């Protein structure tokens, strides 16, 4: 691949990766440890990911079990979950915290599906903005004695790259929507 295109390919890949990370954090009525990825707990004055201070596992399809390595962390982890936007009340027995995911209502599934589509559209906009930046960069190459044909070729390749990433976004949106709407 042309070095001038690689920069933009990397940016588009980052946009796709970001979308996939956002999708991983969306609850689908099933327990997914990734919903905890953005949560931080105060560990000796340092905001730390829950996975770094506890064992996180999924013993049942709709339950996450968090077992802190230090008993003192139970309250901290519970506080982080309660102040987050997870919408789940943790229960603990002094050693282990359990998060039970309720079955999603039809209305909530449709809301999530809309949210997924919106995130997908935002990712497509980001990809198109990167293509626009690429085309602007290629147009400036005309001043540096690059032929019009070469510039046209770079723009065509940027468009093909854009189409490839938008197709991947569409696939990701479709897969996540199907996962959410499946009861």
Q: How does pLDDT run across 2-17, given as a tens digit for each residue?
A: 788 899 999 999 999 9
Do 168 and 118 have their domain in common? Answer: yes
DSSP E strand boundaries for 11-115: 40-43, 46-49, 54-60, 63-68, 91-92, 97-100
pLDDT tens digits, residue range 111-151? Answer: 889 999 999 999 999 999 999 999 999 888 888 878 888 88
Residues 156 and 122 in one domain: yes
CATH at 161: 1.10.132.20
Domain that holds residue 93: 33-100
Q: Which residue, among 19, 7, 1, has the nearest Cα to 131 in the 3D structure?
A: 7
Q: What CATH number should be reported for the domain holding residue 69?
A: 3.30.1360.40
**Do 92 and 115 share a domain, yes or no?**
no
CA atoms within a 13 Å half-sphere pointing along the CA-CB vector of 26: 27
Domains held by the chain: number: 2
66 with 18, same domain: the answer is no
Question: Cα(167)–Cα(147) distance, rounded to whole angstroms?
Answer: 31
pTM (2 decimals)? 0.71
- Measuring CA to CA, which residue among 19, 2, 5, 4 is closest to residue 161? 5
């Amino acid at each position: 691949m042309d070095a001038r295109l690689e920069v933009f390919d990397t940016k588009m890949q980052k946009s796709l990766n970001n979308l996939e990370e956002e999708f991983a954090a969306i609850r689908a009525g099933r327990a997914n440890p990734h919903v905890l990825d953005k949560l931080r707990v105060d560990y000796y004055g340092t905001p730390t990911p829950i996975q770094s201070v506890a064992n996180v596992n999924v013993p049942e399809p709709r339950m996450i079990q968090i077992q802190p390595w230090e008993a003192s962390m139970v309250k901290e982890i519970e506080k982080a979950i309660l102040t987050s936007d997870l919408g789940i009340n943790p229960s603990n027995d002094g050693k282990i915290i359990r998060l039970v995911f309720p079955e999603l209502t039809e209305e909530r599934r449709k809301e999530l599906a809309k949210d997924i589509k919106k995130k997908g559209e935002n990712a497509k906009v980001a990809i198109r903005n990167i293509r626009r930046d690429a085309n602007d960069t290629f147009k400036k190459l005309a001043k540096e004695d690059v032929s019009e044909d070469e510039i046209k070729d770079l723009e065509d390749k940027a468009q093909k790259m854009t189409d490839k990433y938008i197709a991947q976004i569409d696939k990701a949106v479709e897969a996540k929507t199907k996962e959410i709407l499946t009861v």
